[in-house]
Amino acid sequence: MSAPKAGRMLLISGPSGSGKSSICRRLQEDPRVVFSVSATTRAPRKGEVDGVHYLFVDAERFRAMQREGAFIESAEVHGNLYGTLREPMEKALAAGKVYLVEIDVQGALQLKALAVPGVYVFVDVPDLGELRRRLEARGTDAPDVIERRMQKAAAERVERDKYDFVVVNREFDTALAEVRRIAGLEEVS
């Protein structure tokens, strides 16, 4: 009997507004992919479901989970805490799945520094002017939040060369196809 096929991690970062979340949503339609649901202390946005998009917890619970070793990494992003859960990752990898982790740059680089094996992909915007236009068009963030996201994006883009791949999202379907190819998730015909 052959050994069970181990899964692999696909880590995706990028400025908010880069289209990274939409790419992750589409990747999840593939039965070979399991999405990593992070814990966060951020309040749910409209339409977000507890346990599906995030595990929404308060700061006290988050700290307790941290102490218990529930996270493979955690980071503070825009004033809120986020952590990638260990247990579902181990289960998915043992089941031979592609474990999709949408994570900020600090978190991804923490994992890369620990030599956590995986494919690290940075989804980028063509330029910062385009990012501002997208964030404003999205209409989900107040002007001060947009400013914070712009500053963070500029800082994150400096780190993009540390990733295995940079995918510039000029056109959504092309960027999605590129990520699928990188992850070995081409359509099976």
| 125 is a contact residue toward ligand 5GP (CB under 6 A) | no
26 φ, ψ (degrees, to nearest 5): -70, -35
**Which is closer to ligand 5GP, CB of 102 or CB of 124?**
102
| 38 is a contact residue toward ligand 5GP (CB under 6 A) | yes
Q: Which residues, 55 to 84, sit near ligand 5GP by CB under 6 A?
A: 73, 75, 77, 82-84
The distance of closest approach from Cβ of residue 62 to ligand 5GP in the complex, given in angstroms and rounded to an integer, is 11
* Residues that contact ligand 5GP, how many (by CB under 6 A): 14
**Are the C-beta atoms of 136 and 147 separated by less than 8 Å?**
no
Near ligand 5GP by CB under 6 A: residue from 107, 125, 135, 175: 107
**Which is closer to ligand 5GP, CB of 7 or CB of 15?**
15
Near ligand 5GP by CB under 6 A: residue from 7, 9, 16, 99: 16
Other CB atoms within 10 Å distance of the CB of residue 188: 6
Q: How far is CA 179 from the centre of its chain?
A: 13
| 37 is a contact residue toward ligand 5GP (CB under 6 A) | no
With CB atoms as reference, the residue minimizing the distance to ligand 5GP is 107
| 42 is a contact residue toward ligand 5GP (CB under 6 A) | yes
**Are the C-beta atoms of 39 and 54 separated by less than 8 Å?**
yes
Residues at the site binding ligand 5GP, with contacts judged by CB under 6 A: 16, 38, 42, 73, 75, 77, 82-84, 102-104, 106-107
